[in-house]
Structure 1
């Protein structure tokens, strides 16, 4: 039996739950009598809800949707990674959200809300419910909320604004009302009974959601954002507070990634590879986090580079060496036909798929890998943006920004943060041209605009937090990425922007709740562009998504193949190659 088969449903056989945050590793085995499901304890119900959330959000959806939409993965096979969808899979995801996760979690609230001895545990269940609904509403748009949590059949779909208002109020209630010396989960799979960390999680999530909705619902966002920023001590305070769920090393609870990509050994095309533009941004600024995030290729490409001779700042020489770090473009080697480019001139032409870089196996493919919900680094970037919006804070936006970079370097255990921060583009108030992308249409340059810097660093520091970064891009449109130039044929598109949302599961909802489904679809009237369909479409814009004009790629810019990603990877001098331990030959 593998980890995906584990869930608390109407019949539960076995649950082994584990999760890690800060330095806690707590492994508990919980057995539930299948004949006494309704008598299950809050601990048993919550463990199952969390496990199913991890497997779905941190596993399946992160792999199939979110990491691709966040431009963390590049060129991955399958319908979802190629910006389409499988209706049967959507039914499965929907059922997991509403039955395996939310229904079981709701039983804690329903069964114990009136019992003072369970006050904190009910509030914890509300925090988790808010987190799950924050994923649902930002993925699909309007979804069943009030009727669903009240157990009504054929539930109505609530508006985005109503859902956000409700979950933000629940998070505020939880953070204000948890009693530190009160009851707690005897087997807490996330914080090992530490109620102070539940308060920090609640407030950190509230700030993240407030920023996510800040353009769509500014008054609601500012009310909660400013409230959180007025009590910074109630937020994550160091990397020791990082909120990470963790799979186990035993076969029953292997991580999704290990089970799918190591144990099962799938075809090369469906393996996850690091996105070209994400890696380019790490390369441009000599970011040492690259070597912790990216697995070097086992079959490097040969680079011919021009660098300064050892000890010189004027004499240029040609050298040749192996480069094991190169990302895969989102659409592979596909180009827009109207460009008229010679595909054979593509510097990545003929590169076998298996040669592209993959995520670091020890970090992102291990049996017991972590899935981060929030980190101290991300929080500081959240606070930096909140400061820009005038929501308060004890420090400047610049100080929060630098603290976020410091925290990320510490999280990855790498040195060189001061040198990194001193570079143009990274340094506050400066700009950089960066390196050009493969088709010479976007670059890794960073403007002097503070928000551009904050968004870029939040993206670079949050690899594998695909959902958060997809939402960040939809809200800001600031990440230096391109459309998918090889989307699924069913889209009918030659190139496709990242989806604005995921479509509703029309099979299951159409059969059981069609009236309310159709009413919800009728509210999705504004596509991201008139050339895209409205309604239950990948490109119907959610209220939280920023309006923008999709790029007409056949008529955009002056496309040509560039090799910026290959040049000066280790630096611009022979001494840089020597210091990096690179074997090279002079030409």
Structure 2
């Protein structure tokens, strides 16, 4: 009888465990299933603000790769990816966790990051999934593509709401490796980024839906409600440390030491302007090693458009400078600037020239140059001497070109693809395409093609987006809405 009871009990237990939910058995009771907002914030900051990209430096004619045919350098790229949606999923998680622990301040930051990443995506492709992109919990697994105009409208509203939320809270922010929880600096970033977004829309200044000029004026004319960057100390800059996984991205990079050289047109630009930043971003060329480090003629470069064998011969001949050794030998080096005070001043100078706001374009322009030079440690007396040069003065008949040229110089090895997008928007400076190495019929691409994965997983919607935007099809020379004047 006892043996029978044991058998029955064993069968009962077996049935109990076999009937338990399989997924429940996979849960580790010692492992957290929730991430606090501060941990999510730190992760998002390190993803968003690490904007040092060699690919962008090649496409923007700062550097040249001599180790092979670079599609970024020769403008032969095709598709990009939707990797930023992985970051946007973390933004959604930040919103959820902020609501769970009742920390609305993180909701404001989430609005900023959502705007930051989606602007990067739409700048890359054109129309992209936006309103339906994160509705998987509603069984929306094939999101439609939003029009670029609608995306910009949504972003501008989100940023305005984020500013208001930050202005009306005294909550503390933890996990902040950029501003150490300083609410005012976050507010300045939100509004300064809004100015960048609005300047992205310069070809749409007459669009009645966007009200670009009115939105710009609202920020600039009310600094109490809409504070913006006031100095380099406000920069959205990710610092680096001599710790594993926290070092400068190209520290000890063999490629940047041996295969990358300065681009000739960029070096020539700095030489013509007798710009002391040349000495901070480049090393002397071998054939200029006998000259003083402060002599601009000690530096040289090779053309990004020239064929690979031509550039290799010139490098062997000692004509080209490498990037300054600190970029690969200093684990800390300089921080990664995602958006800086210098850029904001150049944006304001351009806005004055375009008649969007009143003000002194020259004053903003000079502040932008000064901020860039101070970032590189240039002494004040050298800055004053540089700004006094006739070639650097803001001439009335050439204001926009001068402002945008200095803005371009200030972007060296920071701000990601922003210098390329600025040149795409304005044509300034002219990127050299004269050499024999050029692909794409010597054209500078205007965008990237959509990821192959979209055609496998979301074909109907991606094909609808292509048909509505690009009659010529999904190609890199198609002109997105953002670049079509109104």
TM-score, with normalisation over the residues of structure 2? 0.82
Is 2:369 the partner of 1:383?
A: no
Q: Aligned Cα RMSD in Å?
A: 3.0
Describe the SS at the equivalent of 2:197. helix
Superimposed CA distance per residue, residues 339-369 of structure 1 (whole angstroms, 9 cap, x where no aligned partner)? xxxx8xx9x9544288622322325763334
Deviation at 1:463, TM superposition (A): 1.0
- How far did 1:80 drift? 3.1
Partners of 1:268 and 1:354 within 8 A in 2: no
Count of aligned pairs: 441
Distance 2:434 2:236 in 1: 32
Q: Distance in 1 between the 2:474 and 2:329 partners?
A: 34
Find the partner of 2:195 among 188, 204, 207.
Answer: 207
Distance 1:34 1:168 in 2: 42
Residue in 2 that maps onto 1:566: none
Residue of 402, 411, 416 corresponding to 1:462: 411
Q: Choose 1 or 2 for highest CA Rg.
A: 2
Q: Which residue of 2 aligns with 1:103?
A: 89
Report the 3-state secondary structure (helix = DSSP H, G, I; strand = E; otherwise coil) of the residue aligned with 1:155.
coil
1:36 aligns with 2:32: yes
Give the C-alpha shift of residue 332 in structure 1: 3.1
**Cα shift at 1:248:** 3.2
> Are positions 1:165 and 2:114 aligned together?
no
Aligned to 1:497: 443
**Uncovered stretches (5+) of structure 1, i.e. residues with no partner:** 1-31, 305-320, 336-342, 431-447, 527-533, 548-587
Q: Is the 8 A contact 1:229 1:391 kept in 2?
A: no
- State the match for 1:442 in structure 2: none
* Range with bigger deviation, 275-284 or 367-376: 367-376
Counterpart selection for 1:84 from 76, 80, 89: 76
The answer as to whether partners of 1:302 and 1:323 remain within 8 angstroms in 2 is no
Matches of 1:248 and 1:190, distance apart in 2: 13
Partners of 2:483 and 2:387 lie apart in 1 by 30
Distance 1:178 1:537, change over 3 A: same
8 Å CA contact 1:302, 1:322 repeated in 2: no
Aligned mate of 2:237, from 226, 241, 244: 244
Q: Is the 8 A contact 1:384 1:454 kept in 2?
A: yes
Q: 2:474 aligns with which of 511, 514, 536?
A: 536
**Alpha-carbon offset, residue 267 of structure 1:** 8.6
**Which residue in 2 is equivalent to 1:6?**
none
- Kept in 2, the 8 Å contact 1:300–1:322? The answer is no
The Cα shift of 1:471 comes to 1.1
SS at match of 1:286: coil
What is residue 50 of structure 1 aligned with on the other side? 45
**Are positions 1:471 and 2:430 aligned together?**
no
- Residue in 2 aligned with 1:14? none
Match of 2:7 in 1: none
More contact order relative to length (CA 8 Å, sep ≥ 6):
2
Q: How far off is 1:98 after superposition?
A: 1.0
Task: Determine which of 172, 189, 196 is the counterpart of 1:184.
Answer: 172
CA positional deviation for 1:253: 3.1
Partner of 2:330: 366
Report the alpha carbon displacement of residue 479 of structure 1 after superposing the two structures with TM.
0.5
Between the aligned partners of 1:33 and 1:198, the Cα distance in structure 2 is: 37
Residues 98-138 of structure 1: per-residue CA shift (max 9 Å, x gap): 12x110111122343487x4111110111111111111111
Distance of 1:487 and 1:157 partners within structure 2: 36
Matches within 5 A, 1:77-156: 77=68, 78-85=70-77, 90-91=80-81, 94=82, 96-99=83-86, 101-113=87-99, 117-151=102-136, 152-156=140-144
Counterpart of 1:545 (choices 461, 479, 483) is 483
The offset of 1:546, in angstroms, is 5.9
> Are the structure 2 counterparts of residues 452 and 349 from structure 1 closer, same or farther at C-alpha, using a change threshold of 3 Å?
same
Supply the distance in 2 between the matched residues of 1:424 and 1:322 (Cα, whole angstroms).
18
How far 1:524 sits from its partner (Å)? 3.3
Q: In the superposition, relative to structure 1, how do residues 147 and 181 fare at CA in structure 2: closer, same or farther (>3 Å)?
A: closer
1:279 to 264, 267, 291: 267
Task: Structure 2: state its 5+ residue gaps.
Answer: 1-27
Q: 1:327 to 1:180 in 2, by over 3 A?
A: farther
Q: Secondary structure at the match of 2:417?
A: helix
1:266 CA displacement: 3.4
**Offset of 1:180 from its aligned partner?**
5.9
Say if 2:257 and 2:322, in contact at 8 Å, map to a contact too: no
What CA deviation, in whole Å up to 9, does each residue of 1:386-417 have, x standing for no partner? 11233325x31121112212222222221322
Could you tell me how far apart the structure 1 residues matched to 2:215 and 2:235 are? 22
State how far apart, in whole Å, the 2-side matches of 1:487 and 1:134 are.
32
Structure 2 CA distance for partners of 1:484 and 1:420, relative to 1, 3 Å? same
Identify, as 1 or 2, the structure richer in strand.
Answer: 1
The equivalent position to 1:481 in structure 2, one of 410, 431, 447, is 431
Query: Shift in Å at residue 48 of structure 1?
Result: 2.0
CA distance in 2, matches of 1:381, 1:34: 52
Q: CA-to-partner distance for each residue in 1:287-335, whole Å, 9 max, x for gaps?
A: 11111122223x225999xxxxxxxxxxxxxxxx995310221123579
Relative to structure 1, is the Cα distance of residues 50 and 331 closer, same or farther in structure 2, using a 3 angstrom cutoff? same
The equivalent of 1:429 in structure 2 is 395
The CA deviation at 1:195 is 0.6
Residue 272 of structure 1, CA deviation: 3.0
Question: In 2, are the aligned partners of 1:144 and 1:158 still within 8 Å (CA)?
Answer: yes
Q: Look up the SS of the partner of 1:36 in the other structure.
A: coil
Counterpart for residue 569 of structure 1? none
Are residues 349 and 63 of structure 1, via their aligned partners in 2, closer, same or farther at CA, if it must alter by over 3 Å? closer
| CA distance in structure 1 between the partners assigned to 2:431 and 2:78 by the alignment | 25
Contact 1:384/1:401 (8 A) holds in 2: yes
On the 8 A contact 1:144/1:156 being kept in 2, the answer is yes
